[in-house]
Amino acid sequence: MSKSSWGYLLLLLALVAAPFVGAYPVFMMKLLCFALFASAFNLLLGYTGLLSFGHAAFLGGSAYIAGHAMKVWGFTPEVGLVLGTATGALLGWLFGLLAIRRQGIYFAMITLALAQMVFFVALQAKFTGGEDGLQGVPRGSLFGVLPLQSDLTMYFVTLVIVVAAFALIVRTIHSPFGQVLKGIKENEPRAISLGYDTHRFKLLAFVLSAALAGLAGSLKTLVLGFATLTDVHWTASGGVILMTLVGGLGTLSGPLVGAAVVILLENKIGEMGHGLASLTGIEWFTTLGESVTMVTGLIFVVCVLAFRRGIMGEIIAFLQRTRKA
Amino acid sequence: MTISLPALLSQLLLGLVNGSFYAILSLGLAVIFGLLNVINFAHGALFMMGAIVTWMAMNYWDISYWVMLVAAPLIVGVFGVLIERLLLRWIYKLDHLYGLLLTLGLTLLIEGAFRSAYGVSGLSYDTPDALTGATDMGFMMLPNYRAWVVVASLVVCFATWFLIEKTRIGAYLRAGTENPRLVEAFGVNVPLMITLTYGFGVALAALAGVLAAPVIQVSPLMGQNLIIVVFAVVVIGGMGSIMGSILTGLGLGVIEGLTKVFYPEASSTVVFIIMAVVLLIRPAGLFGKEK
Amino acid sequence: MTAKFPLSALMFATLLATGAAQAQDKVRIGFITDMSSLYADVDGKGGATAIQMAIDDFGGKVNGLPIELLSADHQNKADIAASKAREWIDTQGLSMLVGGTTSSAGLAMAKVAQEKKRVYIVNGAGSSALTNEQCSPYTVHYAYDTVALAKGTGGAVVAQGGKSWYFLTADYAFGAALEADTAKVVQSKGGTVAGGVKHPLNASDFSSFLLQAQNSKAQILGLANAGGDFISAVKAAREFGINKTMKMAGLLVFVTDVHSLGLKNTEGLLLTTSWDWNLDDASRAFGKRFFEKVKRMPTDIQAADYSATMTYLKAVQATKTLDADKVMEYIKKTPIDDFYAKGVVRPDGRFVHDMYLMQVKSPAESKQPWDYYKVVSKLKGEEVFTTKAESKCALWK
């Protein structure tokens, strides 16, 4: 346990130092939000074994509510974040009630359908601004005293919140509750026969996952100043699945790595394409670089076929093997 | 807004046209899921390929629509066979969900490739000459092409249903769905059957694409909007039930059309609401069998 | 587990890859527009070409610093536009933002420009809110806006006898603004609005919307959309025979749309534009140069991109600074006079210049490819944009 703690400490130090060595704070904050989103999602998929194809509803739904609260109702940021998290939890509870009874693919389909409904509500509702999105959400002052306009201040506040949420996830995994979840994932009938009310546990996991996803969405709105349809579109649900898959299902650090890889890819693929093209002289790399979609698709395919444990999963397995040798 | 009979009838007719697409696409999906147990997320992208391949043929080589009606499904069907042989067969032993994820990745790949070649705005595609013009139905002018779409779709759907439910090949397919080992023991080449089935399902999607090209804009993302609705259709109808998918597809198209008359804003959501309700009451779908 | 060390290393590498702010070694102009979707032809990559032409014609340098053009595709998403603009300003030392076709993106970019104090010249985004409710000291609305389009086309169609209207509107800021402004004009001239329906941006099938339009029994079908949406709507209207019972009024039409649809499908259509390549010799000269590079004639947005870049560079040269406040002050008091337009930029940021009411020629009248318009009348700048009385902008009181 202590060895991994050292690893996390180092990571934390790196994150604290980042803006001072030249990292772009807004980009880092976006990364942190998605890392939280992926970790929340992993709680449900990697540890409870439920694939939700509708997590965008929690990310985006909370983003809109939090944004509206801060912009139109004039609440301070921490209230906005709390409202957003609560929205995620509520949506998660509603989705969960409808979906938990079903297994596997049907569960995924229901979550997708419900998320689509949330999407269309977001499209039609006046307050979301439809295609235009909810723009101009103010940063405000945290608790009314700490102004958040400065990117640096916002960054550290974001870091604290994300670290706290992540710590919560870690605690949950290692708690008795988390053990039951793992048991359900591995063999649900057995868990039932042992007397556990698996439906209740699954629902609780769903709500927790949705609430934290909601926190990620609200935080993102606060940082970037807007909430748009991209946040509730099913491609966002697909994106978080990819992040978790690439990083490593069922590992704690996997989603963090996955989020970093995917976000980096999305933003820098253009430059990477150019770089590879000039290096190798093959023009096609530039075209590949311009298509984030294609690269994402390629990674999905490769991961499912050959790389199912994801980056961290493979690393951990490798280390365990070498330890045994 | 007063609901007039012409308004109602015209939207219903349009709904029937949309329903025809839903029917063919959900048919393909149902067939693939029935035998392969794979949720073919790439169905939308393959539908798009059918349309784009037709557009390319018309634009670059002046090949007629009627030729492409047969050629495009064949071409895309072969592409589907390649997908199955090279990629899909490795994941049959795994959880269903990996099939979904793999085909999701394929969708992104295919759409991304065409998108970088052609952008996202529509590529124009004219109606074939024999089908231009419209018939005056009294309450609206119905473009002849749309009537053709409904007729063609019904013919294809019925033919597929007949093939699967009433012929010997269809019997092998259905048997293979229930017990592949036993069927193999009888000497039927099950892996080949699986490959061909996937190719067939894909060809159906491509055919829908060729039919759709003059109606909706041909664009690399044309499948994306459709596929989620088609999923809902398949779930409502019941995965693995052929007739279920056809009827549900047509029915939902009509319901969508009706919604457009009374409450247009909800027309995109109504399919999902129905799906949520059906899943609560009849989890296996309206016509499905629990697997 | 030592697994976490590679994790930290990866994270660290990530951080360094994200880039830091750069010193002001170049003058950077940022161009963000729709490069791949329904508006790609009316601005898109051609717009970037036009801006580069302006940079080259200016000499490639201003105040001793080289000029660099950055361009990006916002895919009609306001969040991508805003994020890109912010990133360029924070990490690339951007001094001028231009473009923004698609009003939702344009409005988002205007907010970023206002927050970060950078000059933003809008071409392509039509919403009149840019110089009205959402005006900013750093926004210059250069080409056209929905008020001008409404007064131009809307007024002319009503004058011709088109009294009852039904709107087919793109469901976002631009469509809503265009519909609202046109409805106001129609009603002020004694016409009526029978109703309207909103369609999603980049819709694939207009049939059900058009049938609703037909059922309204209005005389005029007002198309409050543009680019790919406009083209699809016109095609579908012909397919369903709507054009036989209703007359179509295209509220924002570009020469590329007419080219795509063909003169057969568009002859007689009335439209309002800020410029056409065939207007005079100077315009034709620009059109020819542009055509050599892009193989299509420029739309008025693309010409506006060129002109806007020139205006900005001249202002920077005259004030000898990149400070947005000083540059904006210069722009607002210096008249603009080039092949694109002649006029002044008002305190609210609106560039006031004449607009043209055009009619699409019949195939017989057109002498060469891209010769599509004939001038019906010239609309004076002072009359065709928002007036002081109507304006809600605090900068212009």
How far apart are the C-alpha atoms of C355 and C353, rounded to whole Å? 7
Look at residue A1 and tell me whether its pLDDT is greater than 70: no
Task: Give chain A positions within 8 Å (CB) of B280.
Answer: 98
Per-residue tens of pLDDT for chain B, all 291 residues:
456 777 788 888 888 988 999 999 998 988 888 777 788 989 999 999 999 999 888 888 888 888 889 999 999 999 999 999 999 888 888 877 788 889 989 998 998 888 878 777 667 777 777 777 777 776 777 788 888 889 999 999 999 988 888 888 888 877 877 777 888 888 888 888 889 999 999 999 999 999 988 887 788 888 887 888 888 888 888 776 788 889 999 999 999 888 887 877 777 788 888 888 887 788 777 877 654
DSSP 8-state class, residue C198: E
For residue B216, the SS3 value is coil
Residues with Cβ within 8 Å of residue C76, at least 6 apart in sequence: A131, C34, C37, C38, C39, C102, C104, C105, C201, C202
Among C1, C7, C200, select the one facing A257 at the smallest CB separation.
C7
Cα(A134)–Cα(A132) distance, rounded to whole angstroms? 7
The torsion angles phi and psi of C276, rounded to 5 degrees, stand at -140, 145
Tell me the backbone φ, ψ of residue C373, rounded to 5 degrees: -110, 145
pLDDT of residue B289: 63
User: CB count, 10 Å around CB of C361?
Assistant: 18
Four-residue CA torsion sign, B255, B259, B265, B266: negative
- Distances, alpha carbon C215 to alpha carbons B257, C204, C205, C206, in Å: 15, 21, 18, 14
pLDDT bin (cut points 50, 70, 90) of residue C333 is very high
**For the purposes of burial, counting CB atoms within 10 Å of the CB of A149, is it exposed (0-12), middle (13-18) or buried (19 or more)?**
exposed
Rounded to whole angstroms, what are the CA distances from C183 to C103, C174, C233, C249? 19, 14, 20, 13
- Residue-wise pLDDT tens digits, C77-113: 888 899 999 999 998 889 999 998 889 999 999 999 9
* Closest-CA residue of chain B to C76: B120
Residue A188 CB neighbours (<10 A): 16
* Chain C residues closer than 8 Å to B6 by CB: 215
Yes or no, beta carbons of A24 and C91 under 8 Å apart: yes
- Looking at residue C1, its pLDDT comes to 42
A85 touches chain B (CB under 8 A): no
* C295 φ, ψ (degrees, to nearest 5): 70, 15
ipTM of the complex: 0.84
Residue showing tokens 């009181």: C397
The verdict on B144 touching C (C-beta cutoff 8 Å) is no
Chain A residues whose beta carbon lies within 8 Å of the beta carbon of residue C3: 4, 7, 253, 312, 315-316, 319
Q: Which two tokens stand for residue C69?
A: 């053009």
When computed from its CA atoms, the radius of gyration of chain A, rounded to whole angstroms, is 20
Please state the φ and ψ torsions of residue B119, each to the nearest 5 degrees: 70, -170
The average confidence (pLDDT) of chain A is: 88
The closest CB to that of A131, out of C8, C87, C201, belongs to C201
Of C368, C318, C314, C364, nearest to C338 (Cα)? C314
Tens of pLDDT, residue by residue over A243-288, are: 998 898 888 889 999 999 888 888 777 677 767 777 777 766 766 6
d(CA C307, CA A12): 50
Dihedral angle at the C-alpha atoms of C74, C75, C77, C81, nearest 10 degrees?
A: 0
Contact: C204, B124; criterion CB under 8 Å: no
Cβ atoms of residues A86 and A69 within 8 Å: no
Q: Which two tokens stand for residue C120?
A: 């933003």
C231-262 in b/e form (b: 16+ CB < 10 A) is bbbbbbbbbbbbeeebbbbbbbbbbbbbbbbe
CA distance A111 to A117: 10
pLDDT confidence of residue A101: 81
Of chain B, the percentage scoring pLDDT greater than 90 comes to 26
The first and second tokens of residue A198, run together, are: 């698996």
* B–C interface: beta-carbon pairs under 8 A: 70
At residue B147, the pLDDT reads 86
What is the per-residue pLDDT for C179? Answer: 94
Q: Do C15 and A18 touch (CB under 8 A)?
A: yes
Quick check: A146 and A153 in contact, CB under 8 A?
A: yes
CA distance A68 to chain B (A): 22
- The residue of A135, A148, A269, A271 whose CB has the most chain C CBs within 10 angstroms, and thus the best one to mutate to test that interface, is A135
CB < 8 Å to C15, chain A? 14-15, 18, 21, 23, 28
Contact B217, B135 (CB under 8 A): no
**Mean pLDDT across the stretch A90-109?**
86
Q: How many CB pairs under 8 A join A and B?
A: 113
Chains contacting chain C through 3 or more C-beta pairs under 8 A: A, B
The per-residue pLDDT for range C117-149, each reduced to its tens digit, is 999 999 989 999 999 989 999 999 999 999 999
Specify burial of residue A58 (Cβ count, 10 A radius: 0-12, 13-18, 19+): buried
State whether A24 and C17 contact (CB < 8 Å).
Answer: no
A226 touches chain C (CB under 8 A): yes
Residue C378: alpha-carbon gap to chain centroid: 20
**DSSP string over C37-96:** STTTTTSHHHHHHHHHHHHHHHTSEETTEEEEEEEEE-TT-HHHHHHHHHHHHHHH-EEE
Residue A223 above 60 pLDDT? yes
Q: Residue A227: its pLDDT value, please? A: 92
Q: What is the dihedral of CA B189, B194, B195, B197, to 10 degrees?
A: 120
**Residue A325, pLDDT score:** 61
Question: What distance in Å separates the CA atoms of residue C198 and residue B265, rounded to the nearest whole number?
Answer: 9
Q: What is the pLDDT of residue B1?
A: 46
Closest CA to B214 of C232, C276, A211: C232
Instruction: Report the distance separating Cα B179 and Cα B175, nearest Å.
Output: 6
Q: How far is B283 from chain C (nearest CA, A)?
A: 32
Under 8 Å CB-to-CB from B93, ≥6 apart: which residues? none
Is B248 near chain C, with CB under 8 Å?
no
If pLDDT is split at 50, 70 and 90, which confidence band does A241 have?
A: very high
Contact C18/A226, CB-based, under 8 Å?
A: no
Contact B219/C at CB under 8 A: yes
Chain B CB contacts of C41 below 8 Å? 121
pLDDT at A287: 67
What pLDDT was estimated at residue C67? 94
pLDDT at C169 over 90: yes
| pLDDT for residue B5 | 77
A16-48 pLDDT per residue, tens: 888 888 788 899 999 999 999 999 999 999 888
* CA A117/CA C75 separation, integer angstroms: 24
CB B44 within 8 A of CB B226: yes
Enumerate residues 6+ apart whose C-beta is below 8 A from B63.
B57, B71
DSSP 8-state code for residue A256: H
Give the CA distances from residue B188 to residues B35, B36, B192, in Å, rounded to whole numbers and listed in that order: 14, 16, 9
Surface of B (95-114) touching C: CB under 8 A? none
Rounded to the nearest angstrom, the minimum Cα separation between B263 and chain A is 12
A83 contacts A75 by C-beta, under 8 angstroms: yes
Per-residue DSSP letters for C249-298? EESS--HHHHHHH-HHHHTT-EEEES--TTSSHHHHHHHHHHHHHHSSPP
Rounded Cα gap, residues B285 and C8, in angstroms: 48
The two three-digit tokens of residue C77, written as one number: 């998403």
Token reading at C128: 């009149």
Assess B216–C contact: CB distance below 8 Å, yes or no.
Answer: yes
Nearest-Cα residue of chain A relative to residue C84: A267
Token pair, residue A139, equals 């940063």
Radius of gyration of chain C (CA): 22
